[in-house]
Amino acid sequence: MDANKPKRVLITGCSSGFGLYTAVQAAQAGYDTIATMRNPKKTAALENALETAGVTATIDILDVTDQENIAAIAEKYAPVDILINNAGILISGSFLDLSDEELRRIFETNYFGAVALTKAIAPQMIERKQGMIINIASLAGLVGHMFNAAYSSSKHALVGFSRSICTELKPFGVDVVCVEPGYHKTEIIGLNANVAENFYNPDSIMTDYNRGFLRLMHKEIVPRAGKPQDVTDLILKIMQTENPKQHYTIGKDANFILGAKKLGLLGLLQKKALSKLEKATRREKRRLENRRNKRKKNKA
């Protein structure tokens, strides 16, 4: 490898959140940055961020659920020095209200997509006896998360995949790192947040709790979430580390919850979360009832 040639980093899911910020910071740090995303209509935010930062990156389209697209990108940008599997989707709601299609869609993107792209890129790294693969998982993949069972399970699978292949690839000079963030203010829990198609189904036994969870998210969890730049700062640090750890957790909530888990206090935290959920559900039911009564008065 030419020592004067910048390392090439390929990042997925760059239309927003961690992917967007990582692409910008990687470009600022001098990396040959390939920023990919599924939707060609969502390049504007990244383009604007790069322009504001005064740097450039190659933007390309990559659907990690499309095998032909993956093969084409892997060939087009070979050799890749650093792969960052960041693309992910979240569809909130009770597991009872998730359709089979929604469940599979989450796993196809969050887990199978990352595995497929890694399988396409890893041989390049093995041949050159060097490389790094960074998988962006989640705290939810370590401890679970109510009303996000499919997302949590897919990230749990990604954690397991990361910790398994790190040993397989180590003899070839390839480092595998798993990053497990807690809540941070990205679009996956904000503007890009999705709910299950049966989330508001009045016939579902979980509808009231779905609504309560959503209220809890917007009133308590999202306002306290960390800055996404903290995660991307960590990712950049990992990229520049010669012998990185196999996994990193980040976020005040992540540190607190994992600390409680080590002390055997996770059950108490779950009880507290359930209590907050029930309180939020009652408040949401009262809000909806008041709104219905107001509409009746206006019609009278």
1 lies in some domain: no
Q: Which range (90-94, 191-195, 267-271) has the least confidence?
A: 191-195
Query: If DSSP codes are grouped into helix, strand and coil, which group holds residue 78?
Result: coil
Q: How confident is the model at residue 94 (pLDDT cuts 50, 70, 90)?
A: very high
Range of the domain at 162: 8-299
In the chain, DSSP finds a helix count (H) and a strand count (E) of 12, 9
Q: Cα–Cα distance between 67 and 72 in angstroms, integer?
A: 9
- Residue carrying the six token digits 């809540």: 183
- Residues 166 and 175: beta-carbon distance below 8 Å: yes
Residue 292 confidence (pLDDT) above 90: no
Whether 71 is in a domain gets the answer yes
Query: What is the identity of the amino acid at 110?
Result: N
User: Quick check: is 3 in a domain?
Assistant: no
CATH number reported for the structural domain that contains residue 109 in this entry = 3.40.50.720
Report the C-alpha gap between 133 and 2 in whole angstroms: 20
In this predicted structure, the answer to whether residue 280 has a pLDDT above a threshold of 80 is: yes
In a domain, 85, yes or no: yes
The tens digit of pLDDT for each residue in 21-42 reads 999 999 999 999 999 999 999 9
Domain count, the chain: 1
Collapsed DSSP state (helix, strand, coil) of residue 147: coil
Q: Is residue 109 part of a domain?
A: yes
Residue 212 domain flag: yes
Q: Report yes or no on 2 lying in a domain.
A: no
- What does the alpha-carbon distance between residue 272 and residue 216 come to, in Å, rounded to a whole number? 13
Dist CA 280 CA 300 (whole Å): 30
* φ, ψ dihedrals at 101, nearest 5°: -65, -40
Interval 136-192: pLDDT, tens = 999 999 999 999 999 999 999 999 999 999 999 999 999 999 999 998 988 766 555
**Which of the pair, 165 or 294, is modelled with greater confidence?**
165
Active site residues per annotation: 151
For the chain, the distance separating the N- and C-terminal CA atoms, rounded to the nearest angstrom, is 78
SS3 72: helix
Among 35-44, 102-111, 113-122, 290-299, the range scoring the smallest mean pLDDT is: 290-299
Cβ partners under 8 Å of residue 64, min gap 6: 12, 38, 70, 85, 87, 109, 113, 114, 116, 117
Percent helix / strand / coil, the chain, rounded to 5: 60, 15, 30
Confidence (pTM): 0.93
How far apart, in Å, are the Cα atoms of 128 and each of 50, 122, 124, 135, 170? 30, 10, 6, 21, 13
